[in-house]
Structure 1
Amino acid sequence: MGSAPDASDIVAVIERVKESGCDDVRVSRGKSRTIIGLLGDVSQLDPVELRGMAGVVNVVSVFAPYKLVSRDNHPERSTVWVGGVPIGPGTVTLIAGPCAVETPQQTLEAAQMARAAGATLLRGGAYKPRTSPYAFQGLGEAGLRILADVREQTGLPIVTEVVDPDDVKLVASYADMLQVGTRNAQNFALLEAVGEIGKPVMLKRGMSATIEEWLMAAEYIAQRGNLDIVLCERGIRTFETATRNTLDVSAVPIAQRLSHLPVIIDPSHSGGHRDLVLPLTRAAIAVGADGVIIDIHPDPEQALCDGPQALTGSDIGDLARVMTLMPAVTGRHRTPSAMPSDESIQASLRRTLEGARA
């Protein structure tokens, strides 16, 4: 269905579908569209009749196992809006901040550095699933409160990780976007919970997941009614030990071909070393990623989490230059700062972005 269809139009389509004997109906809502998915025997449905109903833009048969996130279902690539910030085709979005929230001062300084580099979204971990049970696990809700305070001071919407289905409501009450990390990429209870909460979701690729498994994980979120999903390639586990993970840049165009969802890259967790972050950022933009998510810390030597890969000091100026110059080379531009909540203003920006893509 088209953007923001009337509730009565949705009800009418669902009633018509059920009259034809198809009871398995799934409604998924995104910022700019609503998809009504039908599973099972649909032979009694007349596509021409459905196309003629109010609010219906198109009727398509989807054969991919990930039906809602497939390009078969939605041929045009999608833009996901996070606190007024677009992530999608035509732009390159920088998400940056500390891997872990440690103190109010550390988080504020990292956020200011991120904004100076051109970031329009702030990343920061309040819950940290770590390989070792003895490593820093995050500040929990205290960390979320710090992020909310920093958002007030900087204007940067928050992207933060949730690791437990029971914490989804709490984290969503603070965050503008929920992140599902690589260790939880196939935690299906968590995927369903974030799908039901109504906030945009960043889904990192599982460290050993195929692209199809990654998209199927996204389908769990979409199937629960949430189409505002951003895929994040963060490197996969291979035999190579020179980097923390192996960045699969080919995953970006492949995922964009198979799915309408935006795809970004994490050059920090893939490379694992500060000197690799900027080269991998350039590679991400060159291959067509819709954004990057980068670790920044004011004092990496004292960081409680992933200090060796965090940018700092003079790195910020270099990152700002990459974000200023590289998008134009690929026919796009850096994502603008967060827009006011006024829908008419956001609609105007959407038209501008669509014109840039055309």
Structure 2
Amino acid sequence: MIVVMEQNATEDQVKSIASRIEAMGLKATVIVGTERTVIAAIGEKRGTFKDSIESCPGVSEVTPISAPYKMASREVRPEPSLIRVRDFAAGAGQVGYVAGPCSVESEEQLMSSARAVKAAGATGLRGGAFKPRTSPYSFQGMKEDGLKLLSAARDETGLAVFTEVMATEDVDLVARYADVLQVGARNMQNYRLLEAVGKSGKPVLLKRGASATMDEFLLAAEYILNEGNDQVMLCERGIRTFESHTRFTLPLASVPYLHRRTHLPVIIDPSHGTGHTYMVHDLAVAAVAAGADGLIIEVHPDPSNAMSDGYQSQTFEAFAETMKRCRKVQAALAEE
């Protein structure tokens, strides 16, 4: 249920309603918007809830939340959320650009990448320290040594660090070094991991599973939100279809659909979404034109010799050109 407070409701009235909801065995989340304050009452309470709350001072109305995902729904928060980490910002009209190598391989590789993407205009640095690989014999990442290199790159460039966490037991370790915890497509429905990153208090980039429906995607985000962490970004990185001309099929229709359903920022990954370097530029530009709140792009100093995903990684020069084009589209949209 959503408790909509009157515009002139006092802070004490809001606190009183929240306490009353909690006393009923429900979870109360107060959301202060520019035009109204609402309190989301989450739980299984039935019966007289509406009547007993709607008659309280300061309450305008009580309405049910129809979406299966509650905290992620536009019904609870009609205004778009803004996620800000250091100089990175995504949502509510802001577009954030994250770039860097698929895997952290060495100090030279990471530092040169960080400097290059920073110079091109990125505000976030991606890099995998723990790598989920299909084969157990493939490079699995540098683990904590990789995290230390990411931290050093942040110290020099100021870029916000985005890196993947794969297991609940690694959340505290990764959170010590990273600014944003990434949950990969393979772990989108690892509910214990979602709860753990929710409890971390760190911003989270949640990637859509390769076969996940939109409702499943948003309900996965709900696990994080339900832990009191409202700093969640949704990442569309492509889904598995019958097509073979791309690694995955990147549905840019996800951007307007998710914007209609949720207040959470939507980030597009054109690297995994295509699997081919030559496609990344055009899909990145198209994503910005479609209204995406951000991009996450794989960039490597020597893609042909990358230890993972070199075939979909841009060179420094290609990324700089992509950024120029994306910024032009972003500026044109801002003039409308």
Asked whether the two chains share a fold, i.e. TM above 0.5, the reply is yes
Task: Report the 3-state secondary structure (helix = DSSP H, G, I; strand = E; otherwise coil) of the residue aligned with 2:56.
Answer: helix
80-89 or 6-15: bigger deviation? 6-15
Q: Could you say what the CA RMSD is over the residues aligned between the two structures, in angstroms?
A: 2.6
Give identity over the alignment, percent. Answer: 46
Matched, 1:272 2:275: yes
**1:98: Cα distance to partner?**
0.8
**1:130: Cα distance to partner?**
1.0
Matched, 1:185 2:192: no
Matched, 1:24 2:31: no
80-89 or 168-177: bigger deviation? 80-89
**1:9: Cα distance to partner?**
7.6
Task: Report the 3-state secondary structure (helix = DSSP H, G, I; strand = E; otherwise coil) of the residue aligned with 2:95.
Answer: strand
Residues 13/130 of structure 1: CA separation in 2 closer, same or farther (3 Å cut): same
Q: State which of 179, 192, 200 in structure 2 corresponds to 1:176.
A: 179
Task: Report the 3-state secondary structure (helix = DSSP H, G, I; strand = E; otherwise coil) of the residue aligned with 2:153.
Answer: helix
Matched, 1:63 2:66: yes
Which residue in 2 is equivalent to 1:206?
209
Q: Distance in 1 between matches of 2:305 and 2:316?
A: 14
Query: Normalized against structure 1, the TM-score is what?
Result: 0.84
Q: Distance in 1 between matches of 2:39 and 2:148?
A: 35
Unaligned runs of 5+ in 1: 333-356
Cα-to-partner distance string for 1:290-339 (whole Å, 9 max, x where unaligned): 1110001011122111011111143133123113211012227xxxxxxx
Task: Report the 3-state secondary structure (helix = DSSP H, G, I; strand = E; otherwise coil) of the residue aligned with 1:112.
Answer: helix
Task: Report the 3-state secondary structure (helix = DSSP H, G, I; strand = E; otherwise coil) of the residue aligned with 1:46.
Answer: helix
Q: Distance in 2 between matches of 1:137 and 1:28?
A: 42
Cα-to-partner distance string for 1:68-108 (whole Å, 9 max, x where unaligned): 00001111111111234221031221110111101111001
Indicate if the aligned counterparts of 2:171 and 2:197 stay in contact, CA closer than 8 A. yes
Task: Report the 3-state secondary structure (helix = DSSP H, G, I; strand = E; otherwise coil) of the residue aligned with 1:102.
Answer: coil
Q: Distance in 2 between matches of 1:270 and 1:323?
A: 17
Which residue in 1 is equivalent to 2:18?
14
Q: Distance in 2 between matches of 1:267 and 1:165?
A: 28
Write out aligned runs for 1:130-149 (5 A). 130-149=133-152
Cα-to-partner distance string for 1:105-163 (whole Å, 9 max, x where unaligned): 10011111111221001111111111111111111111100000010011101011000
2:117 maps to a residue whose letter is A
Matched, 1:307 2:310: yes
Q: Distance in 2 between matches of 1:162 and 1:143?
A: 12
Which residue in 2 is equivalent to 1:293?
296
Residues 51/179 of structure 1: CA separation in 2 closer, same or farther (3 Å cut): farther
**1:171: Cα distance to partner?**
0.6
1:223 maps to a residue whose letter is N
Cα-to-partner distance string for 1:198-249 (whole Å, 9 max, x where unaligned): 0110000000001111001001111111111000000000001110100011
Q: Distance in 2 between matches of 1:58 and 1:323?
A: 43
Indicate if the aligned counterparts of 1:172 and 1:178 stay in contact, CA closer than 8 A. yes
Matched, 1:326 2:333: no
Query: Normalized against structure 2, the TM-score is what?
Result: 0.89
Q: Distance in 1 between matches of 2:330 and 2:136?
A: 40
Which residue in 2 is equivalent to 1:346?
none
Indicate if the aligned counterparts of 1:113 and 1:296 stay in contact, CA closer than 8 A. no
Write out aligned runs for 1:105-116 (5 A). 105-116=108-119
Q: How many residues align?
A: 324
Which residue in 1 is equivalent to 2:263?
260
Residues 36/139 of structure 1: CA separation in 2 closer, same or farther (3 Å cut): same
2:42 maps to a residue whose letter is L
Unaligned runs of 5+ in 2: none
**1:10: Cα distance to partner?**
7.2
Write out aligned runs for 1:99-248 (5 A). 99-248=102-251
2:255 maps to a residue whose letter is V
**1:283: Cα distance to partner?**
1.1
Residues 13/170 of structure 1: CA separation in 2 closer, same or farther (3 Å cut): farther
Residues 204/18 of structure 1: CA separation in 2 closer, same or farther (3 Å cut): closer
Cα-to-partner distance string for 1:268-305 (whole Å, 9 max, x where unaligned): 01111110000100110111111110001011122111
